[in-house]
Amino acid sequence: MATTIEEKILDQPTENPATKNLVEVSDLHFSYGKREVLKGINLNIPRGKIVAILGGSGCGKTTLLRHFGGQLRPSSGSVKFMDKVVHELGNDELFEIRLKMGMMFQVSGLFTDLSVFDNLAFPMREHTDLSEEMIRDLVLMKLHAVGLRNARDLMPSELSGGMERRVALARAIATDPALIIYDEPFAGLDPISLNTIANLIRKLNDALGVTSVVVTYDLSESLKIADYVYFIHEGVVVAEGEAAEMLDSKDPFVRQFVHAEPDGPVAFQYPSQQPYEEELNIKAATI
C-alpha cells in the first residue's frame, strides 16, 4: 500500500509536543585536530520561529549546523533535536530525524544532471512510496510557492543565481520537514533576488508552520525576517536577543557587526604570537 509523506512521519518516534524548543544546543565543544572551533555554544531554536545565527566567516556557523544532523560528533556537550540527543542516536534513528530536516545549502547543491522538476521529485521518490501522479502535483505546488512552476523543465545550468536559490528553497520544503536550515541563503545574490529569497523564507515559515534556522553574515536581511538572533564569535555566543532590539544594541560586538565598523572586538588580522615588526626583522627607527 502506498505510503504518504504524512504516514511516513507518523511511523517515526514522536516528540513531546509540549517542549517549547525544537532544537537545544548545550555547552557544545568541537575541534578540528588541535584547532578548537566551538568553545561552549548554548542556544535554543523555539518551535515555529525563525532564528538567525550571525557571525563573521570562520566563526563556526557551518560547523554548528553539521551537529544538527549528526554529520559531526561533539567533543563535549550536546545538540538535542525533538527531545533526542543527536550524537547518541544509532544509524536508523539518525536517518529518521534527518527526514524531518530540510536543508538549503550554501551553494544550492542542485543535481546538475537533473531538471528542476526531478531535483524536487528526488527526495519524494527516495523516501516515500507516493505515486508519480502525486509526486507531480506536489512538485508543482512547491515550485508554485517559489514562483517557478513554469521553470520545471529547465536544467540547473539554465537558471540564474536567484532562480537557482529558489529551486533549492523549494527542494528544502519538498517533504514538509519540521526544521528548515538555510546556510548562507543570501550569498552572491543581487538586491532584488536577495529580498525575494528573504521574503520567501518568512512567508513559507509562517504558512507551513515550520521552524527555520538562518545561518548568515548578511545582517540587514536577517534582521528583517528573524524572530530571534544569536551572534557567534570565536566559537561562543557573544550576544543574543530579539531581532528588533539588535539595531540599538550597546554590545560592542553587535555594534561593530551592525554598523560594519573596522575597529572593535573582531580583529582584521588573524591572531599571531609574534609581532609583525619582529617577524619581518624590522628595527624601530632611531632619531
Candidate from 7-16, 79-88, 267-276 with smallest mean pLDDT: 7-16
Q: Please check the confidence at residue 283 and state whether its pLDDT lies above 70.
A: no
In a domain, 81, yes or no: yes
Confidence of residue 1 (pLDDT cuts 50, 70, 90): very low
Share of the chain above pLDDT 70, in %: 86
Question: What average pLDDT does the segment 27-53 reach?
Answer: 93
- Tally the domains of the chain: 1
Listed residue (196, 211, 205) closest to 166, CA to CA: 196
Distances (CA, A) of 57 to 14, 152, 157: 36, 34, 28
Put the strands of the sheet holding 35-46 in their side by side order: 35-46, 21-32, 76-81, 84-85
The pTM score is 0.80
- The pLDDT value given to residue 139: 95
257 inside domain: no
Mean pLDDT computed over 73-90:
94
Q: Residue 23 forms beta bridges with which residues?
A: 45, 81
- Mean pLDDT over 254-283 rounds to 69
Q: What is the predicted pLDDT for the residue at 262?
A: 67
Per-residue exposure over 147-171, b if at least 16 CB sit within 10 Å of its own CB, e if not = ebbebbeeebeebeebbbbbbbbbb
* 129 domain-assigned: yes
Average pLDDT of the residues of the chain: 84
CA angle 73, 74, 77 (to 5 degrees): 140
pLDDT single digits (tens) 202-237: 998 998 889 999 988 777 778 889 999 998 988 899
**Is residue 265 a part of any domain in this protein?**
no
Res 5 pLDDT > 50: no
**Residue 128 maps to which CATH number?**
3.40.50.300
- Across residues 100-109, what is the average pLDDT? 86
pLDDT at 148 over 70: yes
In the Cβ-directed half-sphere of 190, how many Cα atoms lie within 13 Å? 7
The answer to whether position 200 is within a domain reads yes
Q: Is there a domain that residue 267 lies in?
A: no
pLDDT given for residue 6 in this prediction: 47
Q: Which residue from 144, 188, 142, 138 is spatially nearest to 165, judged by alpha carbons?
A: 188
Domain that holds residue 114: 5-237
Q: Is residue 34 a part of any domain in this protein?
A: yes
Does 261 reside within a domain?
Answer: no
Q: Is 70 exceeded by the pLDDT of residue 167?
A: yes
